[in-house]
Structure 1
Amino acid sequence: MIEATTRWSVTRRKVFTNCARRYAIKYIDNNRPYLGQNKVAYQSPWDLMIKTSRDVFFQLLADLHRGVNWSEKLIQSRVRFELTSQLVSFGLTGDRISNKQKNQFIASAFMRIKKILKKSIIARIVDNDIKEWSFHNRIKPVSFGHMEVYCSPDIVYRYKSKWHLVRINFQSEKIQPYVELELCSMLLWSKYNQYLPNIDEKFALHGLFYSDRKWRNYSIIPSQKMFQESKQLLEKDVHNMNLLQIEFMKNLNPNKLPLANSPKYCIRCPYKLSCPKFSFSDKI
C-alpha cells in the first residue's frame, strides 16, 4: 500500500501539472523500471548541464561567503570538470555525445553563471554592497500542517529594514502563471525561522529565472492575502496529487494517466521510451 503524499515542492508541482504519467512514475511508483529504463541512472545532457550550472554557482557562493572570489578562468575550469564528471557517471561519452556537443554544454553552463553574476542582486553581493547574506539548499523541508514543504530560498539577505528571499531557477518556462504564489511559499520557510511578523513590511521576494539566454528578475512585496492564497494552493496541490495517486492505484499503469499536452515537455523526459505518446510523436 502506497501512503498518501505529504510532500510539496515547486519541482513536484511542475511535473504534476505538466504530465500525470511522469509524476506517477517519478513520485508514486518509483521502485520499478519501465521497459528496462533505470529511473535513477538516466539524465539528459541538457539536464546535467543545468544541474552543473547550479552546483558550480553555489560552490562559488560558498567561497564568496568566506571572502574568496573566483576568476572567470576558475569558473570555466570548474564547470568543465563537474560537467565532464557528470556525463561520465551517466555513461554519456564516446558515441553518445561528441566533444563538440560537450563543449557547447560547457559553454552554456558557463554563460549562465557569468550572466547571473552581473544581475543586480548577485552583483551587489559580489561587490560587497550587501553585507548580511546567506545561501541555503532546498533539501530540508518545513512542516506545514500535515505537509512537508520544500520551500527554502536559495539566498537570503538583509538590506536596511527588509529581509529579501531569493529563488533561482537556472532554466525556467517562459510563462509562469503561478510565480507569485510559488515565491510566497518561501514565507513558510521564514515563518519556520521566526521572521514572519508584518509580512508586507519585513519582506521582499525575488525570483531570478533564466530563459531565452537571459536572466530575468521578478520581484514582489508580499501581502497577508498573497500568503494565505499560497498556503491554499499548497493544500490544493497535495490534495490533487493524492487524488491522482488513488487513480493510479486502481490499475498501477501510468500509461493510463493523462499525458503531457506539449511535445516540448517530452523531449528530455527520462521515461519517454515506454510512453504511448512517444511512439507516435514525430516531434520528440
Structure 2
Amino acid sequence: MYPFQPTWSTTRINLLQRCPRAFVLRYGLAKLSKNHPQGQLLSEVFQIQTPWILMHQTIRTVLLDYVEDHQIGTVWSHELLSIRFRRDYFKAIAERNQRVERLQKYGLAASFFHTIQPEEHLIKMGIESCIGILLNSVFQGLLSNGSIERMEANQFTRIRNIRMYCAPDLLHRSSKGLTIIKFQLYGKISRSKRIQQASLLQSYGNDNSEVIQFCLQRRKWNVHKTIPIARQRKQASGLVVLDL
C-alpha cells in the first residue's frame, strides 16, 4: 500500500507522500488536524498518488480479491481479471481526481497536483503483471493447497513492545505450517533489506514460519523464500528500535 522506494526530496509535502516510513506520521498529522476547519484537506493530500503508484496499488487489490474469490471456489478467467483491473484502475484515477478538485477549490494544490486521465500502457502493464503471478508455479501451489487469509495494511504486530505496521498481504495455512506472503511491487531491493523485511514479517507468524516474497521487477515476478533465524530477527528489530 505504501511503496518502498528511495526518497530524496526538497519539499516536505512530497516527502510525506512518498516516504514509506512516514506512514504513521501521515495519519497522525491527519488525526491531529481533523478538528481544524481545513484539517480534512491534509488527509486528502496524503491520499493523492501518481498514476504509476495507483497502478501498483491496483495490482495488489486485484490479486487479494482474486485470492479471496478463489478460496470460495470462484476462479476468474484472464478476461474477467482484465475487466476487473481496468475497472478498479479507472476508479482509483477518478477518486484521485476528485480529491485534487476538492483541494483546488481552496487554492491549496494548484502548484502540486492536477487531474489526470487513465494511461492505457499502465493498464496493460498492470494486467500483464497480474496474469504473470497467476501463472507462477509457487503461487499456484499456494492456491491449490491449504487456506489463505487476506491481511490488511492496518493490522499490526508487536516487536519489543513496539506496535509495528508491516503487515504481509496473505497468510497461508497448510499441514506444513503457516506461510507469510508479501507482494513487493516496486522493483528490486537488496538482499539485506529483503531479509530485514522478511524478519519483521515473520512476527505475524512464529519462529518456524516461512516468508515468501513475490518481487515484481520489469513485469516479471521473482520468488524469494526465507525462514529468518533468531540473529536476523534480532538485527531487524534492533533497527526498528534505533529508528524511534
TM-score normalised according to structure 1 size: 0.64
**Residue in 1 aligned with 2:108?**
none
For structure 1, which runs of at least 5 residues remain unmatched after alignment?
Answer: 1-9, 191-195, 240-284
Q: What's the secondary structure of 1:69's corresponding residue?
A: coil
Q: What's the secondary structure of 2:56's corresponding residue?
A: helix
The answer on 1:131 being equivalent to 2:146 is yes
Amino acid at match of 2:133: I
The answer on 1:104 being equivalent to 2:97 is no
Q: Aligned-pair distance for 1:173?
A: 3.5
Structure 2 residue corresponding to 1:64, chosen from 54, 66, 70: 70
Cα deviation 1:217-247 (Å, max 9, x = unaligned): 111222111111121122122x2xxxxxxxx
The answer on 1:50 being equivalent to 2:56 is yes
Query: How high is the sequence identity, in percent, across the aligned residues?
Result: 16
Q: Summarize the Cα distance change of 1:131–1:159 in structure 2 as closer, same or farther, 3 Å threshold.
A: closer
For structure 2, which runs of at least 5 residues remain unmatched after alignment?
Answer: 99-113
**Residue in 1 aligned with 2:176?**
161
**Residue in 1 aligned with 2:157?**
142
Amino acid at match of 2:130: I
Q: Aligned-pair distance for 1:108?
A: 1.2
TM-score normalised according to structure 2 size: 0.73
Q: Which moved more, 1:54-63 or 1:134-143?
A: 134-143
**Residue in 2 aligned with 1:183?**
198
Q: Aligned-pair distance for 1:97?
A: 4.5
**Residue in 2 aligned with 1:269?**
none
Structure possessing the higher relative contact order (Cα contacts under 8 Å, 6 or more residues apart) = 1
Q: Work out the CA distance in 2 between the residues paired with 1:49 and 1:168.
A: 14
Q: What's the secondary structure of 1:157's corresponding residue?
A: strand
**Does the CA contact (< 8 Å) of 1:174 and 1:211 recur in 2?**
no
Amino acid at match of 2:138: I
**Residue in 2 aligned with 1:88?**
94
- How many residues in Structure 1 have an aligned counterpart in Structure 2? 211
Q: Summarize the Cα distance change of 1:42–1:138 in structure 2 as closer, same or farther, 3 Å threshold.
A: closer
The answer on 1:120 being equivalent to 2:137 is yes
Cα deviation 1:45-88 (Å, max 9, x = unaligned): 11111111111111111111111100111111111111111112
Q: Summarize the Cα distance change of 1:188–1:174 in structure 2 as closer, same or farther, 3 Å threshold.
A: closer
Q: Summarize the Cα distance change of 1:144–1:174 in structure 2 as closer, same or farther, 3 Å threshold.
A: closer
Amino acid at match of 1:221: I
Q: What's the secondary structure of 1:171's corresponding residue?
A: coil
* Largest Rg, 1 or 2: 1
